Amino acid sequence: MHAQGFTIYDLDVNAPHQEFIDKIKEAKSPILAMSALITPSCVSMKEVVEALKENGLKDKTFVIIGGRVKKILYP
């Protein structure tokens, strides 16, 4: 899928953390965007960012987190 000149890879809901890592490596993506519409998603997104660090990708990947949750767990 393409939007505004970007190639979009939709990993769908409940994608395992390793799937994010694998797709970033495969696509050589400089950007990771995630969205949360329910509060428990925040925990999972934090774990994805930790997986980026563990795989040496955090400094090479700009992370965008959006959505709307009622309570922020990690200010």
pLDDT by residue (tens digit) across 18-75? 999 999 999 999 999 998 887 778 888 999 999 999 999 999 999 999 887 665 555 5
- Are 74 and 42 in contact, with CB atoms under 8 Å apart? yes
Q: Is the pTM of this model over 0.85?
A: no
Q: What pLDDT does 18 receive?
A: 94
Which value, in Å, is the radius of gyration of the alpha carbons in the chain? 12
pLDDT higher for 15 or 75? Answer: 15
For domain 2-67, say whether CATH 3.40.50.280 is its number.
Answer: yes
Q: What pLDDT does 41 receive?
A: 82
